Amino acid sequence: MNNRKRQVIVASQKLFVEKGFQNTSIQDILDESHISKGTFYNYFSSKNECLIAILAKGREEADVRKHEMLIGQDPKDKDLLAKQIAVLMQVNRDQNLIPIFESIFHSGDPELKKVMMRFHLNELNWLSMRIVDVYGEASKPHCYDAAILTFGMIQHMVHLWKITREDAIDTVQVVKYAINQLDAILPAQIEKGEYFLGCDLAKYLHQNFKHKHVTKEYLTEQLGGFSKGLIEDNLQAGKEYTTCLIKALQEENIPFYIIEAIVLPFNSSFKSTIHAAEAQEISNLLWLFLRQNNSLDTLNSN
């Protein structure tokens, strides 16, 4: 994604928060972004698509953070899982996305609601896999139900906290509380062989959600273009990480362990720079590439 498009996304997000999605016109976005209508439509086919890009950016940041948390850690650690789950809540708060979610809820727009459901189902799928990491293979037939119950508990506790309390909620603590309830729920489900939506939901996700396939050629192209834009003298570390990633991807037998070790410092080296958003986007693609090649599963089990 080019920097101009990112600027439009940032300007649009500001307007959606301040004025509400429904009350923000495309002309408002053009004025705030200082672009022409033709440029806007070159990036987005509609205001809805612009909003979807904003939400996707938040999910992308959350995904990168969740992957980075796993580096060198025990995937069975429940406290780690709680922190990962809390990440999305924290990103929504930090990026001021909650007012936008509320605008979508009240808009009644079927396209946007469908997108929100897709995001939600992707989170359910991720949590289901992590539950199997934590509770073992015996939990696999029950992991989707467990994920639904966990998110349900978190959502209602946070909602009622806001109604009944004035102090800020500790998101990690409420997530830990919900996960702890699985210690009683999951063994009982496993013992009884009981599940409700599990198998049907797994089948639905498999049939309806095709995840983006990331190739080494595509990553090499993205990193090559990224590298050409790095002209600042104070980015030497970032330049070296970028070069190292390109070389690793060009090898016949890709050293996945090197890529896995470099993604975090690569992303971190561009924090608070004009390249931060693109570095994060590439980092997310690298994590997807590693996951598709099963390297993360292998590395985390060693």
Q: CATH code at 19? A: 1.10.10.60
Same domain, 173 and 198: yes
Which one is predicted more confidently, 179 or 112? 179
Q: What is the pLDDT of residues 211-265, one digit of tens each?
A: 678 899 999 999 999 898 888 778 889 999 999 999 999 998 999 989 988 999 9
Q: What is the pLDDT of residue 223?
A: 93
Q: What is the pLDDT of residues 88-146, one digit of tens each?
A: 888 888 888 887 887 777 777 888 888 888 888 888 889 998 999 999 999 998 999 99
pLDDT above 80 for 39: yes
Q: Which amino acid is at 26?
A: I
Q: Kindly write down the DSSP assignment for every residue of 239-296, as one continuous string.
A: HHHHHHHHHHHHSSS--HHHHHHHHHHHHHTTTTSTTHHHHHHHHHHHHHHHHHTTHH
Q: Which residues contact 30 (CB under 8 A, 6 or more apart)?
A: 36, 37, 40
Same domain, 21 and 83: no
Is 63 strand, coil or helix? helix
Q: What is the pLDDT of residue 302?
A: 38
pLDDT level of residue 1 (50, 70, 90 thresholds): low
Same domain, 146 and 222: no
Which residue range(s) make up the domain with 33?
1-44
Number of domains in the chain: 3
Same domain, 87 and 30: no
Residue 154 falls inside a structural domain:
yes
pLDDT above 60 for 296: no
Same domain, 95 and 173: yes
Residue 53 falls inside a structural domain:
no
Mean pLDDT of the chain: 86
Among 180, 208, 236, identify where a domain stops: 208
Same domain, 12 and 30: yes
Residue 52 falls inside a structural domain:
no
Say how far apart CA 173 and CA 101 lie, in whole Å.
23
Q: Kindly write down the DSSP assignment for every residue of 171-185, as one continuous string.
A: HHHHHHHHHHHHHHH
Among 208, 231, 262, identify where a domain stops: 208
Q: What percent of the chain has pLDDT over 70?
A: 94
Say how far apart CA 197 and CA 81 lie, in whole Å.
22
pTM above 0.85, yes or no: no
Among 145, 173, 208, identify where a domain stops: 208
pLDDT above 50 for 300: no
